[in-house]
Amino acid sequence: MLRVEGIAAFVAAVEGGSISEAARRLRLSKSVVSERLAELERSLGGQLLRRTTRKLTLTEDGAVFLDRARRIVREINEAAADMAERRGTLTGPLRIAAPVTFGRMHLGPALYPFLMQHPGVELTLDMDDRRVDASAGGYDAIVRHGAMADSRLVAWTLAPSRRLLTASPDYLARHGTPATLSDLEGHRGIFYTNRGIADWRFQTPDGAVAIRGKLGLGINNGDMMRDAVIAGLGIALLPTFIAGPAIRDGSLVEVDIGYKPEAEFIYMAHPEGRNPSAKLRAIADHLRRAFGSPPYWEPDAGASGDRN
């Protein structure tokens, strides 16, 4: 007879990539997870995973069983959450992936009051600047900044976002302040490598224009991008949720060349075809209120934005 515990251990092992990670996610010992996997394979009469010292890989039987196993685990979790929500309680596990800098500066401080108000919600927040696959990674949702790139996701806007061309006063004093698009071509740039492009893009009446500056630094972390610009290494397009405080205190200034980058958004996205739980909707609603519109991190919004 199949046991739900074994199916949950199998899904956690596949999504975590190892027995150790499955044990961490399930809050069990490695030996218990291994025992549950072995019992599941005996019940099914076939091997689901190949185990080596380095990694786990799916067998052909395991690949066939995986989709249904995920659906079983998800539906059981959702059924338990639905019963609790019918009693007016938000409860159960929730996994969300989010970018590091935004998570540290804004998402975490906004979530802590929500979790205090709803102690039954078991939130796991994975911080990673890389683009993650919400479905394959086992996430209920992802929080991201920018434009939607995955049509398999359903997005909810949490707040408008915009990027500013920024530099330090020291850099501009040494290299001059660019006033036009063509002026930018001679300047050193600090570029966010996770976007995959080392240029600045602006919207003009004739359409989008890309300007390629000299590479001063390519990096995949927003905090370090901001710090590099403050240090005078070059010019960068920074979202206001990162640059806002530095602009307010004068360590960064906005460089106005007459054109703006394309508008972007802070959004939460969940896999298409999956019915989002009440607790996920409640978190999204809470974040919208906490961030505000316009969001409190805008340079001209002051420090009094509502974060509760």
What phi and psi values does residue 33 have, to the nearest 5 degrees?
-60, -45
User: Is CATH 1.10.150.120 the right assignment for the domain spanning 4-84?
Assistant: no
DSSP of 148-207, one letter per residue?
Answer: ---TTEEEEEEEEE-EEEEE-HHHHHHH----SHHHHTTSEEEEEGGGS--SEEEEETTE
Whether the predicted pLDDT of 236 surpasses 90: yes
Q: What CATH number matches the domain at 90-161+264-291, 3.30.70.260, 2.20.25.90, 3.40.50.150, 3.40.190.10?
A: 3.40.190.10
Which pLDDT belongs to residue 197? 67
User: Is CATH 3.40.190.10 the right assignment for the domain spanning 163-254?
Assistant: yes
Same fold, 90-161+264-291 and 163-254: yes
Q: What is the pTM of this model?
A: 0.71
Residues in Cβ contact with 304 at an 8 Å cutoff, skipping those fewer than 6 apart = 296
Give the mean model confidence (pLDDT) for residues 55-72.
89
Lowest model confidence (mean pLDDT) among 21-25, 83-87, 102-106, 243-247: 83-87
Tens of pLDDT, residues 128-164: 888 777 766 778 899 999 875 556 778 899 999 999 9
Question: What residue segments make up the domains of the chain, in order of their start?
Answer: 4-84, 90-161+264-291, 163-254
Higher pLDDT, 232 or 67: 232
Tens of pLDDT, residues 49-59: 998 767 788 99
**225 — pLDDT class (breaks 50, 70, 90):** very high
Which pLDDT belongs to residue 303? 43
Give the mean model confidence (pLDDT) for residues 278-290.
93
Which pLDDT belongs to residue 247? 94
